[in-house]
Structure 1
Amino acid sequence: MLGSGLVLAEELPPPPTEVAAIADATLYLELLVNQMPKTELVAVQQRAGRLYLNSEVLRTAGVSLPGNPQGELALDAIAGLHADYDSQNQRLHLQVPPAWLPDQQVGERNLYSATEARSSFGALFNYDLYLNDSDDAGSYLAAWNELRLFDSWGTFSSTGQWRQAFNGAPSGETHQGFLRYDTSWRFTDEQRLLTYEAGDLVTGALPWSSSVRVGGLRLSRDFAIRPDLVTYPLPAFAGEAAVPTSLDLFINGYKASTSELQPGPYTLTNVPFINGAGEAVVVTTDALGRQVSTTLPFYVTSSLLQKGLVDYSMSAGSLRRDYGVRDFAYGPGVASASLRYGVSDSFTLESHAESAESLMLGGLGGNMRLGNLGVLNAALAQSQFEGDNGHQVALGYQYNSQRIGFSYQRLQRYGSYADLTRVDSQDLQLSQRSEQVTFSLNLNQYGNIGAGYFDVRAGDGTRTRLLNFSYSKPMWGSSSLYLSANRELGDSQWAVQAQLVIPFDLHGTLAMALERSQQGERLQRVNYSRAVPVGGGVGYNLGYAAGSERDAYRQADVTWRLQSVQLQAGVYGSSGEMTRWADASGSLVWMDAGLFAANRIDDAFVLVSTDGYADVPVRYENQEVGRTDAGGHLLVPYSSGYYRGKYEIDPMDLPPDILATEVEQRVAVRRGSGYLLEFPLRRVLAASVELVDANRQVLTLGSHVTHVETGSQAVVGWDGLVYLENLAPHNSLQVELAGGGQCRVAFDLPEAQGSIPLIGPLECK
């Protein structure tokens, strides 16, 4: 019988598996795809030991199956998919190829988020007064000025100069009195990245074309409106992650970013702060610590446009004549247009056209990235001027890396080629040819070597060829050595220079130089200078030069920068030919019904207002730039248009009863305009009140206090003290005692300001 029992046991079927133990059931399981959990439980059908899942559930989980099957699917029948049912933790683990999962874009193509630029109504007057007095040429006074009006409708600007000679100075050589330079209006459409201009302006141009001054209209694409936008193509590093992975990006050996990846294909698009050739190393690390390192070379150049981007400029008007000599002088009508289009991330198309009554010009060119080997540029232009034809050919190549820089540019003109610069200047001759080659080599701690060759054949046939070599090397501390040699070919003499610069941490910078000119003259120079501190102060410059064939040359000047003006004075020259000069420059701004003085404002500015509170410290980009005046204003003159700057106030010196609801703001200002940035400050009517009962004992800790007039509530603290805000001159309090019962008390707020008063003890009845 025992033997029979053994035989019978061997004939039994195998025990059921974990999945087969439960038949025809609906399981609600946590779904994990390539070790990444999904948020919701999913319904899994189990029949005859097989697991079934609806195709819509897989699509919701981000799994794209080949062939896109529909309906209920048997998981074990899908090739490439592995399913594992964890009954103990009620989980369903799916492992799929990474290509079935969604693509991931890691990183941002923009430097930071776009910010709406602002402008307030106001006026600005820039001035620069310059007085010059020479021993041999008399004296003169020149006053340059710029008037600006700005608001949401744009910016109106007009520039000019007033000049007056006296003290024996010849008055017929230069214009006397007032001379107008430019008058224009500009408006920027930030949504369309367009700038509209009217008045005196400069036409747009490409590297192989020319610009001219006209009085007229201009429409142009303006990418400067969006400093966060990167317009040139950036490298993209692609790959796949089978499981959750950490990704580190190294650019030229420096860690650029760290990202967390979900399973699936990914594209890394972080902005590399580099121009030229580089090397990226992508390191992925999974949950078990396994690392995979991939090296990817790339080439970045700002001369290209991203695919699909368009940059253009169109101008029309009358040519400006005798600029800087006459106020209003305009010539024939002309038109000019330039266009750049990103055909692909490797090729940018360029075109340019010009027209006048006597001129027609058209040209086509482009920039092409040669993989990681640099950028090739070429252009061909054809012109017809007064019946004569001509053409221009431009060709160039650039390559830059951490160690090597090389550039070659050649421009050749044939026949009677002409452009708008010749329309109103018949005697002007364009150069026949220009060629330049530059080379640089970075030797790291051993310095930098540079070389250049320049060859220009002028319109009259004369030829100039220059050869230049340079070497620079950092020395001890922050000092540096600079050597240079240049020569005009055809001349047997070299001009050489050796300069040693030694900065001092507190007192300035010393520079010593030895020179020999092409004429063989030897010259020794010594210069000692101290830069003006950014926040204001005094800077100076002292120089002395002595040569074998000239009198000793001396110069000295001092600069005093105040918050409202910059003053300068100096002297230079040799014995008997000394020149003395003085300069005062700054700006006057009318805004918020007030007049404010500041240093010269070349672009945008911000007027900070603190609601009339004086002596409040103001910081710009974490640096203190001054304190508000008696009217609660401070003008911050240095700000780049459309840059999102950070402005802060420090309320620590304000009286305790003054509340600052906002102490930091980021704002971008339209180019050439100003903005009134308000930091609201208000006085808080508050007091600390000591409450006692009829026995002069402090009220119980934790009693609830209600301010009858406003309904605000507070709690009695230690020693019967309660702090109350938003009080009125006369106040009533109702108290719910912690031990039960109620009482009331009334009091008047003292008129004293600057501190929070302590009132009491008050008897609560």
Structure 2
Amino acid sequence: MINPSAQLRRFRDEMIPVVHCVVLLLIGMPGAALAATPESAAQAGVETVAADEIFLALRINRQGPEESVLVLRRRGDGRLLVRGEDLQHWRLRVPSTAALRRGGEDWYALDAFPGLTYQVDESNQTLSVDAPPGLFLATSLPGQDARFSVPRPAAPGGFVSYDLSVGRADGLTNAGGLFEVGAFNAWGTGSGSVLARDTGAGAYVVRLDTTWTQDRPAQLASLRIGDAISTAGSWGRSLRFGGVQWATNFATQPGLVTFPLPSASAEAVLPSTVDLFVNDALRLRREVPTGPFTIHDLPVVSGQGEARLVVRDLLGREQVISLPYYASPRLLQQGLREYSYEMGFVRNNYGIDSNDYGRFAAIVTHRVGFSNAFTGEAHGELLREQQTVGASGAWLWPTAGLFSASVAASHAKRGTGELVALGFERQSRSLSFGGNVQLASQGFTQLGLQPGELAPRQVSQFFVGANGGGYGSVAASYTRQDYRDRAEVELANASYSIRVGKLGFLSFSVLRVLSGETKTSFSLNFTYVLGERSSASVSAARDPTGNQAVIQMQRNLPPGDGMGYRLVTGATEATKSERVGADLSVQNAIGLYTLEAARDQGQTGVRAGARGSVAILGGNAFASRQIGDAFAVVQVPDYPGVRVYADNQVVARTDAGGSALVPRLRPYQKNTIRIEQADLPMDAEIDTLEQDTVPYLRSGVLLQIPVRRSRGGLLTVILDNGEALPSGAVVQIAGEKNEFPAGLKGEVYVTGLLPNNRLHISWRGQHCEVNVPFRPTSDPLPHLGTYTCTGVRP
């Protein structure tokens, strides 16, 4: 009898020499196996070794296990190699050592990483890797959301805003109104404002501003044609002019950080949570993976402070990094530029004369962040009869504060002149102080000075402030202006304020006029908080005319509809009279209305006012409170009475046509508008309840919320034999793609119906059609009747 086991052993012994020969032959063939001659490896530019492929479950820094990964185990020394693609997936840095090239991929030995250790658990087929943080790729995180939100182009529309008042006192009646009219489209916004007054002795109307503005957020710039205000720079003076202005407008990208902010770097041994505290207040929380990380543009407050980074890993271990900083909005980030180019006619007597334009001027201002510690500026003013140019700089010394300097020179018919200015400021949580001094020669001139007016010889300002925490805060300032053609002005002011527990706030101030006849004034005020919107205050004051005291109680208006008031009573020593007054304010969806009454020195006066807007968009006009910087018209067609929310506050309800005006949106920022689902009927088909919109300044956007009536109904379908249509049969409206499955008892709910409908029914390759009429009703789930499907069998 033949022994099978003996035969197998004999076959194995005979085949071993054959296998050895085959392996030797394969090794000897260039590039044919896992090993190659040094000469062939050099020619290919890669390193190859004999290795086995194995799959292992991966754990990195005790996290995992993750998915199984393919590794190579070298024969002989047992070293493990992993693919470069996997290293990138694990965020490990690729070592500089030579790679093994196999299967078109690069493989790297794990022991080539300094500080990395690994262990293979053969029983569980697990690879455990412990890598120090420095071996991981660095993570870069923003400290603030600086993403640019592209504004939605404005639909053609317009608005009218008004602020009206009428009053009577001392037998005289006076009335006035401030009006603004605007129109907008995708090319920009045009607006004009006028002031109308009737004093009883005469009436007049004055045009204020007329401007067409085109904001270009992608360029961080705005074009203004018409009335505008010039850019003053560090030493110039702003003025009104009529002409053209092309200028940087950082407000078109509110998330952009324009001034240098500190960054913080650290290492996380394990995935961690990072908390940023600025002056002991939590300002930021981020999740970071294992490895080094940097958070840029930390959201710190201006001035000097300390940022504290707390890194807490999954095991609860913490590391704390302290970072002193100094941030100043007067600087520009390195490489950032700010400019303003203007030309036009200087406006005189603004608010008095509608069209008093004088000298032609061209003005240029350009600022550059040369580094995060130095910002330079050039400013020039060119007129036919005078020219003024100058340069300025702001330099940050973090341990000291911000230094600034300006020099300027002018040329005019009366000669040349010079200006020099120096400044310093230091702001911190506990103590802030600073000052600036500006000196000008007699011949110096600039825009903002009338022809022939002499520049002040000296303008000096100094301030100091201290925050004592629970002990209150104190501040003081000193101002001096020396003129050549009139008396100097010299003032000193000091104040102290403190929170008195939960009762309220106490403040004291003193003002002393040091020039001419010296005068001193004192004031003391205590405000008692009665609630979220209510407060009462008592104040006393003394000045050269005598003493006075006032008691006041007020309730502020709510954000939405509501009422507010103010009650005042007081006495004045100088006039030996008592004063009483009362104000009432009422606010609703279409306006703000005020009524005031007061009696002082034996005379009584009353005044009434109204403020609001009318917006025109989407072919409709809407009355509203003043629209603010931007607005939206929300359309939910055919659904009246639906509540509309902005920032989770109810701001409007849709009218009979399903439209509502949402005022006071934030321009160039995301505004979330949503509607209340509970206000919609059951048969409403809803794609989404909310939309985000980014409007332009002084413009409106049209938002259509995708809600529509389902125009649906329930019908029952039976077969020729009287049985119900089987569950799972498919019903379609002829010409439509939507499918409606049949339910129990042959019932089918179909939406999107027209007055007359042909329904196509399918079941196991069989088909039939039925004609179903539809008439809208108030019933959200109408039953359309029973229909017979001919030709379909169960």
- Structure 1 length normalisation: TM-score? 0.86
Q: Deviations over 1:631-677 (max 9, x none)?
A: 32222221232222111111422332233333111111111111122
Report the counterpart of residue 597 of structure 2 in structure 1. Answer: 571
Q: What SS does structure 1 have at the residue aligned with 2:663?
A: strand
Counterpart of 1:181 (choices 197, 201, 208) is 208
Q: Structure 2: which 5+ residue stretches go unaligned?
A: 1-48, 102-106
Shift of 1:523: 0.6
Q: Distance in 2 between matches of 1:58 and 1:695?
A: 65
Q: Distance in 2 between matches of 1:579 and 1:691?
A: 79
Equivalent residues of 1:50, 1:74 under 8 A apart: no
Report the counterpart of residue 114 of structure 1 in structure 2. Answer: 149
Shift of 1:461: 5.5
Q: What SS does structure 1 have at the residue aligned with 2:711?
A: coil
Report the counterpart of residue 72 of structure 2 in structure 1. Answer: 44
After superposition, the CA RMSD in angstroms is 3.4
Aligned-partner residue type, residue 434 of structure 1? V
Q: What SS does structure 2 have at the residue aligned with 1:123?
A: strand
Matched, 1:522 2:547: yes
Q: Distance in 2 between matches of 1:247 and 1:528?
A: 46
Q: Distance in 2 between matches of 1:190 and 1:467?
A: 43
Matched, 1:221 2:255: no
Alignment of structure 1 residues 234-313 onto 2, 5 Å: 234-269=261-296, 271-286=298-313, 288-313=315-340
Report the counterpart of residue 698 of structure 2 in structure 1. Answer: 672
Alignment of structure 1 residues 187-226 onto 2, 5 Å: 187-226=214-253
Q: Distance in 1 between matches of 2:249 and 2:544?
A: 45
Residues 267/614 of structure 1: CA separation in 2 closer, same or farther (3 Å cut): same
Q: Distance in 2 between matches of 1:701 and 1:74?
A: 63
Equivalent residues of 1:524, 1:546 under 8 A apart: yes
Equivalent residues of 1:142, 1:164 under 8 A apart: yes
Equivalent residues of 1:110, 1:271 under 8 A apart: no
Counterpart of 1:725 (choices 751, 754, 771) is 751
Higher mean alpha-carbon deviation, 363-372 vs 72-81, is at: 72-81
Q: Distance in 2 between matches of 1:134 and 1:126?
A: 27
Higher mean alpha-carbon deviation, 308-317 vs 561-570, is at: 561-570
Counterpart of 1:485 (choices 496, 510, 516) is 510
Residues 754/676 of structure 1: CA separation in 2 closer, same or farther (3 Å cut): farther
Q: Deviations over 1:394-413 (max 9, x none)?
A: 22222223333323222222
Higher mean alpha-carbon deviation, 408-417 vs 704-713, is at: 704-713
Report the counterpart of residue 349 of structure 1 in structure 2. Answer: 376
Q: What SS does structure 1 have at the residue aligned with 2:448?
A: helix
Q: What SS does structure 1 have at the residue aligned with 2:251?
A: helix
Report the counterpart of residue 9 of structure 2 in structure 1. Answer: none
Report the counterpart of residue 32 of structure 2 in structure 1. Answer: none
Report the counterpart of residue 198 of structure 2 in structure 1. Answer: 164
Q: Structure 1: which 5+ residue stretches go unaligned?
A: 1-22
Shift of 1:35: 6.3
Determine what percentage of the aligned residue pairs are the same residue.
26
Aligned-partner residue type, residue 423 of structure 2? G
Q: Distance in 2 between matches of 1:723 and 1:273?
A: 58
Counterpart of 1:654 (choices 657, 680, 690) is 680
Alignment of structure 1 residues 142-157 onto 2, 5 Å: 142-157=176-191
Residues 395/696 of structure 1: CA separation in 2 closer, same or farther (3 Å cut): same
Q: Distance in 2 between matches of 1:645 and 1:620?
A: 7
Report the counterpart of residue 18 of structure 1 in structure 2. Answer: none
Q: Distance in 2 between matches of 1:40 and 1:335?
A: 70
Report the counterpart of residue 433 of structure 2 in structure 1. Answer: 406
Shift of 1:475: 2.8
Residues 503/78 of structure 1: CA separation in 2 closer, same or farther (3 Å cut): closer
Matched, 1:543 2:577: no
Matched, 1:511 2:537: yes
Equivalent residues of 1:124, 1:148 under 8 A apart: yes
Residues 319/730 of structure 1: CA separation in 2 closer, same or farther (3 Å cut): closer
Report the counterpart of residue 163 of structure 2 in structure 1. Answer: 128
- Paired residue total: 730
Q: Distance in 1 between matches of 2:599 and 2:115?
A: 86
Q: Distance in 2 between matches of 1:702 and 1:65?
A: 60
Q: Distance in 1 between matches of 2:530 and 2:367?
A: 48
Report the counterpart of residue 713 of structure 2 in structure 1. Answer: 687
Shift of 1:140: 3.1
Aligned-partner residue type, residue 607 of structure 1? V
Equivalent residues of 2:423, 2:436 under 8 A apart: yes
Matched, 1:437 2:471: no
Residues 608/212 of structure 1: CA separation in 2 closer, same or farther (3 Å cut): same
Residues 601/626 of structure 1: CA separation in 2 closer, same or farther (3 Å cut): closer
Alignment of structure 1 residues 352-363 onto 2, 5 Å: 352-363=379-390
Q: Distance in 2 between matches of 1:197 and 1:370?
A: 37
Q: What SS does structure 1 have at the residue aligned with 2:441?
A: strand
Q: Deviations over 1:391-448 (max 9, x none)?
A: 22222222223333323222222332211123xx224333222222222222223322
Equivalent residues of 1:310, 1:341 under 8 A apart: yes
Q: Deviations over 1:322-341 (max 9, x none)?
A: 32232222222111111121
Report the counterpart of residue 596 of structure 1 in structure 2. Answer: 622
Aligned-partner residue type, residue 230 of structure 2? T
Higher mean alpha-carbon deviation, 669-678 vs 536-545, is at: 536-545
Q: Distance in 2 between matches of 1:621 and 1:507?
A: 20
Shift of 1:591: 2.0
Aligned-partner residue type, residue 617 of structure 1? R
- Structure 2 length normalisation: TM-score? 0.83
Report the counterpart of residue 456 of structure 1 in structure 2. Answer: 481
Residues 52/721 of structure 1: CA separation in 2 closer, same or farther (3 Å cut): closer
Q: What SS does structure 2 have at the residue aligned with 1:421?
A: coil
Q: Deviations over 1:526-581 (max 9, x none)?
A: 12222222213332222222122212233333222232232223233523544332
Equivalent residues of 2:761, 2:768 under 8 A apart: yes
Report the counterpart of residue 319 of structure 1 in structure 2. Answer: 346
Higher mean alpha-carbon deviation, 39-48 vs 530-539, is at: 39-48
Aligned-partner residue type, residue 223 of structure 1? F
Shift of 1:309: 0.7
Equivalent residues of 1:143, 1:162 under 8 A apart: yes
Shift of 1:249: 2.9
Residues 58/506 of structure 1: CA separation in 2 closer, same or farther (3 Å cut): closer
Equivalent residues of 2:144, 2:299 under 8 A apart: no
Aligned-partner residue type, residue 279 of structure 1? E
Q: What SS does structure 2 have at the residue aligned with 1:639?
A: coil
Report the counterpart of residue 581 of structure 1 in structure 2. Answer: 607
Q: Distance in 1 between matches of 2:344 and 2:737?
A: 69
Q: Deviations over 1:605-624 (max 9, x none)?
A: 11222224322211111100
Q: What SS does structure 1 have at the residue aligned with 2:752?
A: coil
Shift of 1:113: 5.1
Q: Distance in 2 between matches of 1:420 and 1:533?
A: 44
Q: Deviations over 1:736-761 (max 9, x none)?
A: 899x9999876544442352213557
Q: Distance in 2 between matches of 1:573 and 1:427?
A: 46
Q: What SS does structure 2 have at the residue aligned with 1:553?
A: strand
Report the counterpart of residue 36 of structure 2 in structure 1. Answer: none
Aligned-partner residue type, residue 183 of structure 2? L
Shift of 1:356: 1.0
Report the counterpart of residue 553 of structure 1 in structure 2. Answer: 579
Higher mean alpha-carbon deviation, 110-119 vs 366-375, is at: 110-119
Q: What SS does structure 2 have at the residue aligned with 1:559?
A: strand
Report the counterpart of residue 3 of structure 1 in structure 2. Answer: none
